[in-house]
Amino acid sequence: MLVGAGVLLAMGLLIAPACLWAQSSTVLEVGKFSVSQVGTALPDGWKPLTFKKIPKHTSYEVVKDGGVTVVKAVSEASASGLIKPVVIDPKEYPIVRWRWKIDNVLQRSDVTLKAGDDFPARLYITFEYDPDKVGFGKKLKFKAGQALFGDIPIAALNYIWDTKAPAGTIVENAYTNFAKMVIVESGTQNVGMWVDEERNIYEDYKKAFGEEPPMINGVAIMSDTDNTKEQATAYYGDIVFRKSVKASSR
């Protein structure tokens, strides 16, 4: 994205009030797209995520694909997303599962460059800012980021479908160290196919940031091509959080 998708996902303050679930549940259905009304642009509980300096937005629509209701994204030199507020303890619900499909990878995408910070499909997980649990150095960086970009998340995991970086790689966002890019899929091998994904957010956060994660406060999907000026089509299936097997057995 032109202005840094990783840093500008200002979910903590753009999305309120947050959604809460009963903690006794073993599964939290964050994106129940499969029961949404076909033809609508916004699934229940989700809202547009747009950016001031990017006038052209990605289009989203609830559609049927293979008999299942999903969200379709079409990005044409554009960038925007859909977001949902949540309050989730990553220790209690460390596992996120989702399905996605893309029609094509981007030829000029490059996770290491600002000019290549475009991806046909992304899943964001953002975390709340608790000043009492943040060191002095990170507070200074956070205040500097606020001065440049406004309200921002203190940290975000950005699960992406990349063009060439090896799957499993975790790298710093090209714009900011507040966001880490986790390459979940890479290349063309699975293009045109539905792929089921599962990640341990708790472990990914500790590996990416070297510390315990705060509460999760937002989830977003996004397809963006504003930097590369390319076109991408993606489909997003249901998104759920689960307790770990160990936690569920207690």
Going along the chain from its start, the domains and CATH numbers come out as 5-248 (2.60.120.260)
pLDDT above 80 (res 143) = no
Contact partners, residue 157, CB within 8 Å, separation at least 6: 124, 125, 126, 179, 180, 182, 201, 204, 205, 208
What's the pLDDT at 176?
75
From the list 9, 75, 6, 16, the residue with the least C-alpha distance to 45 is: 16
What's the pLDDT at 128?
86
Amino acid at the residue 80? S
Amino acid at the residue 187? G
DSSP 200-230: EHHHHHHHHHSS----EEEEEEEEE-TTTT-
Kindly report which listed range (3-17, 86-100, 135-149) carries the lowest average pLDDT score: 3-17
Over residues 203-243, the pLDDT tens digits come to 999 999 998 999 999 999 999 999 999 999 999 999 999 99
Over residues 144-182, the pLDDT tens digits come to 444 444 444 557 999 999 999 999 999 998 877 788 999
CA 89 from centre of chain: 17
Q: Give percent of the chain with pLDDT exceeding 70.
A: 78
pLDDT above 70 (res 139) = no
What's the pLDDT at 141?
57
Cα separation, 78 vs 229, whole angstroms: 8
Strand order from edge to edge, sheet including 119-127: 47-49, 79-88, 216-224, 119-127, 155-162, 179-186, 170-172
Confidence of residue 244 (pLDDT cuts 50, 70, 90): confident
What's the pLDDT at 135?
59
Confidence of residue 134 (pLDDT cuts 50, 70, 90): low
pLDDT above 70 (res 8) = no
Over residues 19-71, the pLDDT tens digits come to 544 444 899 999 999 999 999 989 999 999 887 788 899 999 999 999 999 99
Over residues 80-125, the pLDDT tens digits come to 999 999 999 999 999 999 999 999 999 999 998 999 999 999 999 9
pLDDT above 50 (res 184) = yes
pLDDT above 60 (res 136) = no
pLDDT above 90 (res 249) = no
